[in-house]
A and B are shown apart, each in its own frame.
Chain A
């Protein structure tokens, strides 16, 4: 089905069109979310939220960008929201523990390893993801889209709504910061 036809059908509330959309982009949404939230459970949750938002706000999609770009933007926003929410929850749990209320504990997840990493790289990748988690949001987004989702600088610039030069600068800074964080970890 052509993209314009798919959008038209989606706007009519066609279930089959929605199913086609989900099946076409579920992997890309999930993989992006997984790179950012670093938890398979949270990535599934975010991916579902992304498609619910797509379904609910397809009428506001004016076709100024590609449908995939629009979906990527929603995926990035939802993933970053999920991280902020988790951090807030962790902070509240810490504050509550100070006052002796620790009925809901928020545990630090075990080292995250992306399921698509080669077996021989798993240990290194776990350290890299730990360092990625410390990056500022825009550097993290650019790095994940480029290195995990394998998107070109141009595609990343369209999703992030910045220039290609800005993406290049973000990735340079991200690599510099990652090196710095890794120096702290590596003996």
Chain B
């Protein structure tokens, strides 16, 4: 076959072409993909919101503030406890001293 004829034959090779169809159940596959993308986009939206610089910075600040609050309140509480403990200790010592000053108060003997 001559070269020109071959090229012509190739160019006409689509004559009588039938339309191609997708595999059966195309709509079912499409719906499944759409549902998957909706779920995916919901998670993506949440992640996208969380990794926004403003949200991330606010979260870090919040964590620092909460931590600082917990540390400060714990320190104050332990200081208060220590002061209270000291008072009790002083009171106990005073009581002891008082008792030591008159060891026989309870056993006065009349001459």
A residues touching B (Cβ–Cβ < 8 Å)?
A: 19, 22-23, 26-28, 30-31, 34, 40, 43-44, 47-48, 51-52, 55, 114-118, 121, 124-125, 127-128, 131, 147-150, 175, 178-179, 182-183, 186-187
Contacts and interface: CB of A to CB of B under 8 A. Distances in A.
Nearest to A182: B7
Contact of A124 (B9, B16, B20, B33): B9
B11 A179 contact: yes
Nearest to B17: A116
Contact of A23 (B6, B17, B27): B27
The 6 tightest CB contacts between A and B, nearest first, are A116-B18, A124-B13, A121-B13, A125-B13, A30-B22, A124-B10
A183 B16 CA distance: 24
Given A31-B19, A114-B20, A125-B13, A186 B7 contact: yes
13 contacts: A40-B20, A43-B22, A44-B26, A48-B33, A55-B34, A127-B13, A128-B13, A148-B14, A148-B17, A149-B19, A150-B17, A178-B11, A182-B11
Contact of A114 (B7, B11, B17): B17
B20 A186 contact: no
B14 A128 contact: yes
A157 to B, nearest CB: 20
A44 B6 CA distance: 32
A47 B20 CA distance: 12
Contacts of A22: 26-27, 30
Interface residues of B, number: 24
A141 to B, nearest CB: 15
Contacts of B108: none
B94 interface: no
A121 B11 CA distance: 10
Nearest to B8: A179
A148 B23 CA distance: 19
Contacts of B29: 44, 48
A117 B22 contact: no
Contacts of B13: 117, 121, 124-125, 127-128
B3 interface: yes
B21 interface: yes
A34 B19 CA distance: 10
Nearest to A118: B16
A27 B21 contact: yes
A117 B17 CA distance: 5
A128 B13 CA distance: 8
B13 to A, nearest CB: 4
